[in-house]
Amino acid sequence: MSSEPFQTLYSLLQKHSGTILLVVAGHWHRWVDFSRKYGPQHTVIAATRYDPNAFMVFRADGRKGSVEWIDSSLPQWATHFSAPYLNA
């Protein structure tokens, strides 16, 4: 760890961008896609308080070290809402 007592999220993401696959945050109550602005893919998820469809479904493979967001087309960006997930 750095000798800095407090690091910003940005500096931590940049420092560990080779090992962080995805950053998911919440509490803004709406969907925000920061894309790779801070290094790894960074998404803020909406709140189920406003929409019960506001969740994310992932496929993770520990052996390959991969994470795939399989319902990424459903959020209505910059809103509280998402289309329903229909597992085919």
DSSP per-residue letters across 66-81: EEEETTTT-B-TTSS-
Task: Band the pLDDT of 70: cuts 50, 70, 90.
Answer: very high
d(CA 67, CA 78): 23
Q: What is the mean pLDDT of the chain?
A: 88
Q: What pLDDT is recorded for position 3? A: 56
Q: What pLDDT is recorded for position 1? A: 52
For the stretch 39-59, pLDDT in tens is 888 999 999 999 999 999 999
**Average confidence (pLDDT) over 73-79:** 96
**Does pLDDT of 78 surpass 70?**
yes
